Amino acid sequence: MRHIVSVLVDNEFGVLSRVAGLFSGRGFNIESLCVAETIDPKVSRMTIVTTGDDQIIEQITKHLNKLINVIKVSDLTAEDHIERELAMIKVNVGEKDRAEILSIIDIFRAKVVDVSPKTYTIEMTGDGEKVNAIIELLKPFGIKEIARTGKIALARSQKTK
Amino acid sequence: MKLTGAQIFVECLLKEGIDTIFGYPGGAVLPIYDALYNAPLRHILVRHEQGAVHMADGYARATGRPGVVLVTSGPGATNTVTGIATAYMDSIPVVVFTGQVPTALIGNDAFQEADIVGITRPCTKHNYLVKDVKDIAKVIKEAFHIALTGRPGPVLVDLPKDILNAQTEFKYPEKVDLRSYQPTYEGHPGQVKRALDTILASKRPVIYAGGGVLLSGASNELKSFAEKLGIPVTLTLMGLGSFPGTHPLFLGMLGMHGTYTANMSVTNTDCLIAIGSRFDDRVTGKVDEFAPYAKIIHIDIDPTSISKNVRVDVPIVGDVKFVLKEILKGLTESKRKKDTLSEWHEQVKKWKDTHKLSYKQNDKIKPQYVIEKIYELTKGDAIITTEVGQNQMWAAQFYLYDSPRQFLTSGGLGTMGYGFPAAIGAQVAFPHKTVIDIAGDGSIQMNIQELATAVQYKLPVKVAILNNRFLGMVRQWQEFFYEKRYSYTCMDAAPDFVKLAEAYGAVGLRAEKPEEVVPVIKEALKVNKPVLMDFRVDREEDVYPMVPAGQPLNKMLLV
Ligand SMILES: Cc1ncc(C[n+]2csc(CCOP(=O)(O)OP(=O)(O)O)c2C)c(N)n1
């Protein structure tokens, strides 16, 4: 099963390679991995999407915890959480396709962030499925390039007072 | 007062109470070597950096104190890798300091540059590249802390030359502040209670203890626990010595070359109490059929060891000593009638009586006989190290270890060439003890150069070479599983070990007939010098029992 593991780490050089090395060395999968600084500049958050049965996920979280530079590990899959992905899609626009593409963009609440005579570059944010869906719909027009982030995710705050 | 990085390095070691370093100099660490010139630290100059790490490792295993290594950048650093990986697999606290090219040159393929932090990332508990002289003291403090606490392990600190020459105020931090590193020592009380209930309800319990007991210093607690309830104890290779080898409750080692009694007991137990052991594949045999009738309790300080390859019913994450103390507290003898286990004890005794470890004596020297005699003549009191292969297994089977830290062997990595330098390290720590490396003729040649180190520092280590002129253990596998096709395992061109010893300024002795064995051992124990003993043993002797890889433990090949 697919899991989103959120990891707070020391914001130091070499930490990413410790985490990546742990996954490759022990034969764990990484589907995607995103890293950026948190509000505390000494700490970064890594969001790792991985797959495995419960026993493997347990080993992954335990091993992550064992790394000296790892501060906190949470498996968000088990919790109520929000996840997002960002994609930039450069698509061909022929004269007659313009309206149709714009309407797709509209439906998905995506944005055009760059325009050239023959292409649009579209910014799309959403969960992975939405991003996949817009890509499918744009494919027939000819996608020239795609850049996709992995997933980022946060646990939802408690709604009660 | 301002000190250079190199001077700070020396001050930090002194603050840590270090008195011995195993090292080898070179360009990048010259500033440190200069600072060592007048320092009150003993430096053992080795002949190969791998030897330095094994010595530090042997020193650490024998004493429980950290072993310290100092080497130069590039080749000096890469030569330490096997030693570091060996220490890592067996959770040994070794701190390795490597020189590095100046920070401005890092990444430039500078002369003698190697990315040793990158190379050793997967085989250290943690490692550091120091980039500012102001960080040296803090990093060294952390390095020792990390190496020694939790599940111990090697830590490497890479020190660029310009950092060693730069100056700063020296202040050694009082304590370590690592918010992301907080090992769990206390077992969960609820789990401890569950473990107790499971143990008390069992009819055929077995304790399966490993190196964690030694690392945690919990031998006394283990003994009280086993004795209070009358639970038989088997040990892993790494655990030997943590429970007395001569104790009536001792079953011997378990696993691939374990005793019949230990393997049968584990196969038939209804409650397996794993203490500081990690269900290595050499221990479990076929995992699915390991301890099939047992509820399994597992006490270990490392959460990743638990439920890694065997399902566990009662996991307890915590320090073995601490948890055993809690269990002992919860035990009042009245809770269990003395004779509850009598049937089990009888069964175990039957296995023991009918299947003692044995070998067939003929007119040749049997390697097992050599070890039996070493055991007798040292009264079971020597520190024994081993190489890897048949020698290692026989040393585990035929010498009985009554004390912790008495048996030093490379269990996890299985590093040939470990035993001799490890023996030197142990001898450095205990100059007056008898230290013997039980070796094969193959393994001893992997770090034989350290004989010069032993001679230079007047360290009277003994090496008993069980010389079969084969890579014996590999030959045994070829005999059993490859129709005796001895492909490249015959080492017919061995050196004359007696002359070799003499060339180094050590003593060489040889035994070719069984009756020469005892006189050679006696002579070796008498001389206060390093000795190589060349025992010409029966060439195709095999280690028994043997559980073929992938088979369940009760499928043993017997003598
Ligand atoms: C560095 C290293 N290389 C290879 C091996 C594989 N290996 C395991 S046992 C063995 C044979 C050891 O021969 P020897 O030292 O003569 O000991 P014996 O088995 O004959 O007692 C070998 C080659 C190893 N364990 N370590």
Rounded-to-integer distance, Cα B550 and Cα B552, Å? 7
Question: pLDDT per residue over B379-423, tens digit each?
Answer: 999 999 999 999 999 999 999 999 999 999 999 999 999 999 999
Ligand 1 pocket test: pick from B237, B416, B486 the residue with the most ligand atoms within 8 Å of its Cβ: B416
Beta carbons of B540 and B518 less than 8 angstroms apart: no
From A84's Cα to the closest Cα of chain B, the distance in A is: 27
Beta pairing, strands B271-275 & B462-467: unpaired
Q: Closest residue of B to A13, CA-based?
A: B129
- Do A66 and B302 make contact, defined as CB atoms within 8 angstroms? yes
Within 13 Å of residue A106, how many CA atoms lie on the same side as its CB? 6
Give the SS3 label for residue B74: coil
- The pLDDT-based confidence of B179 (bands split at 50, 70, 90) is confident
pLDDT attached to residue B331:
86
Q: Which of B15, B112, B430, B479 is catalytic?
A: B112
| B interface residues, A as partner, C-beta within 8 Å | 117-118, 121-122, 125-126, 129, 146, 178-181, 302-304, 307-308
Beta carbons of B221 and B275 less than 8 angstroms apart: no
Which positions 115-154 of A are in contact with B (Cβ < 8 Å)?
none
Residues near B197 by beta carbon (within 8 Å), at least 6 away in sequence: none
The residue of B120, B125, B146, B181 whose CB has the most chain A CBs within 10 angstroms, and thus the best one to mutate to test that interface, is: B181
Nearest Cα residue to B401 out of B375, B421, B425:
B375
Q: What is the mean pLDDT of residues B334-357?
A: 88
pLDDT attached to residue B123:
98
Asked whether B440 lines ligand 1 (CB < 6 A), one says yes
From A18's Cα to the closest Cα of chain B, the distance in A is: 7
B177 has a pLDDT exceeding 70? yes
Residues on chain A touching B179 (C-beta within 8 angstroms): 71
- The pLDDT-based confidence of B286 (bands split at 50, 70, 90) is very high
Residues on chain B touching A43 (C-beta within 8 angstroms): none
Beta carbons of B218 and B504 less than 8 angstroms apart: no
Dihedral sign for Cα atoms in the order B237, B242, B246, B249:
negative
Mean pLDDT, chain B, rounded, equals 96
> What percentage of chain B reaches a pLDDT higher than 90?
96
Asked whether B468 lines ligand 1 (CB < 6 A), one says yes
| Residues forming a β-bridge with B440 | B466
- Do A71 and B179 make contact, defined as CB atoms within 8 angstroms? yes
Q: Residue B443 C-alpha to ligand 1 middle, in angstroms?
A: 6
Rounded-to-integer distance, Cα B15 and Cα B138, Å? 12
Rounded-to-integer distance, Cα B200 and Cα A120, Å? 73
| Residues forming a β-bridge with B11 | none
Q: Residue B434 C-alpha to ligand 1 middle, in angstroms?
A: 25
Dihedral class, residue B152 (left if φ above 0, else alpha if ψ from -120 to 50, else beta): beta
Q: What is the mean pLDDT of residues B221-225?
A: 97
Residues on chain A touching B307 (C-beta within 8 angstroms): 55, 58
Enter the pTM of the model: 0.95
B130 has a pLDDT exceeding 70? yes
∠ Cα A18 A46 A60 (to 5°):
60
B337 has a pLDDT exceeding 70? no
Nearest Cα residue to B546 out of B480, B484, B489, B472:
B480
Asked whether B442 lines ligand 1 (CB < 6 A), one says yes
B338 has a pLDDT exceeding 70? no
Nearest Cα residue to B390 out of B259, B239, B240, B543:
B543
Q: What is the mean pLDDT of residues B150-167?
A: 98
B307 has a pLDDT exceeding 90? no
- The pLDDT-based confidence of B446 (bands split at 50, 70, 90) is very high
Beta pairing, strands B20-24 & B42-45: parallel
Residue nearest to atom 3 of ligand 1 (CA): B416
pLDDT attached to residue B334:
54
pLDDT attached to residue B335:
66
CB neighbour class for B165 (10 Å; exposed up to 12, middle 13-18, buried from 19): middle
- Do A17 and B126 make contact, defined as CB atoms within 8 angstroms? no
Asked whether B443 lines ligand 1 (CB < 6 A), one says yes
- The pLDDT-based confidence of B372 (bands split at 50, 70, 90) is very high
Q: What is the mean pLDDT of residues B279-299?
A: 96
- Do A59 and B304 make contact, defined as CB atoms within 8 angstroms? yes
DSSP letter, residue B187: P
Is B111 noted as a catalytic residue in this protein? yes
Torsion of CA B329, B335, B336, B337, to 10 degrees: 130
From residue B452, how far is each of A32, A104, B44, B67, B70 by CA, in Å? 53, 79, 11, 20, 19
Beta carbons of B450 and B424 less than 8 angstroms apart: yes
- Do B121 and A21 make contact, defined as CB atoms within 8 angstroms? yes
Asked whether B69 lines ligand 1 (CB < 6 A), one says no
Q: Residue B392 C-alpha to ligand 1 middle, in angstroms?
A: 10
pLDDT one digit per residue (tens) for chain A, 161 residues: 899 999 999 999 899 999 999 999 999 999 999 999 999 999 999 999 999 999 999 999 999 999 999 999 999 998 899 999 999 999 999 989 999 999 999 999 999 999 999 999 999 999 999 999 999 999 999 999 999 999 999 999 887 65
B323's tokens: 């948890």
| Residues forming a β-bridge with B463 | B437, B532
